Structure 1
């Protein structure tokens, strides 16, 4: 029975009983006697109390729905308010859960398209950096080398300095191109790509250790790309924002699938809002049905945990 009909019938029952009493043994005098006023006040109190209890019990599921509506995050799927109550209240919660299912499916589809376009654009930019800018700087280096061979001694040192600057710029462009398009991932696989990634981030201020299991199950190209991008973003945050000195990357086979863990000893997440990088990691995890957890590690730092489900193959 809907909330409307329950309230209506409750009030109807109370009014019918009151009318029957007034037509029967109960009378009201003019002026109203004290006992009659007590009866009327008591009846009114009973009616208000019954209405209040009915509304309180009937609106509890709506209060739970309100809390769910203010806390649900589409980047953390699976959160659903329990269907409670009766009538239109239960129907409202059911409709809200169906809307969440549709929104999560639509967001996953749009995120897949956006990330696919992003990877294509990264591939194009990396190709142009390598082919256009890289070749131009290489030609500049050759011309500088030829000019230095014919230059007088007082200019030769300056030309060598320009050569070193140009060579450093060329190395930086190649490093940026590798980050935009991990060619080693396509050519040598995930294990080699992650090892190269840890070596790339290891420098004077940050030391990255890796631990990659040898018994990893076969993973699809999209799954490997998501794991690589999450690891890349985690190490980027550790190097640029967390002021970390040590980091550890582990890729192991766990009870629920393949697990990627990236831990650093930096300043941690704190109370800062999640930026575009972390949101991008969550969206990538949703694409392959993976679970992503970020939190403060014991003793300080940040712990990134990505769990990728792997289907069990029948023997």
Structure 2
């Protein structure tokens, strides 16, 4: 429910109070009627809350219905008007439709406004003979009706502004939630694609070192060296992620071709053979393809039991394309895990494409990214 503009009732009360007191001073002089007038306005100001229809005030431990509060204030307005010799307090009745708009809606507020205008015309009819041919009373009635219209228009504008503000706040909250979720997903992909790959590589190299410890000490030592390289590389990438915490492009490798060659070199060996072929001229590093190569090599080494893995990187005028081909056991599309799901999201953000062709006997991962 909308809230009324808080300063408007106070301004009207203050203006009527000053006008009534000034009229009493320059006219008949302050008296008992002036004191009652001031006291009634004080009660109205004290009762004036944030709205007329929604506040639930307590009296002797009981809740006072909103409608009773509204009627009480309307009666007080009538009492103020009755004791106000200046007649200025009639303007306060524009508060009835104005505050009713916030409490009960536009239809009720319009009805209240029409009722106030009709009531004023009726009061003139009962108290002023032939008022309808006297310009000052006709002018008063027209000005009051205009005040009611302006009060309703102001209330409508205030309500729309509050509704627009509420929608904006809701939208900003949704944007904040989406931004936080996107950042969590990005960090999750980074952890999986970077640390997950390097931990896999370390495990593979340590298994190789253990298997060749007595048969080929040199190969065992080389495997330990590769595991150490993967550990250092993982630490560097963690530091880079913590340092930037920004867009993925900020942490792209210095050169995709060189990074892939380094990656393949430290994974090759043992019971599997990994080859790398590159063609074309590299225009800029592409982290998304590097992560795709990590995901493809990790899956081939960890899950497929492949003995031959080939990585093909091609640059052309439209973009870059990466293919990771292995002769492993393949997998069912329904078994696609978090890594491939995250890769699809990463490639989608780069406006690229992903294709996976897997069957018993091998898997082909193809990723294309435009320049």
TM-score normalised by structure 1 residue count: 0.43
Q: Looking at both structures, which has the greater relative contact order when contacts are Cα pairs under 8 Å and sequence separation is at least 6?
A: 1
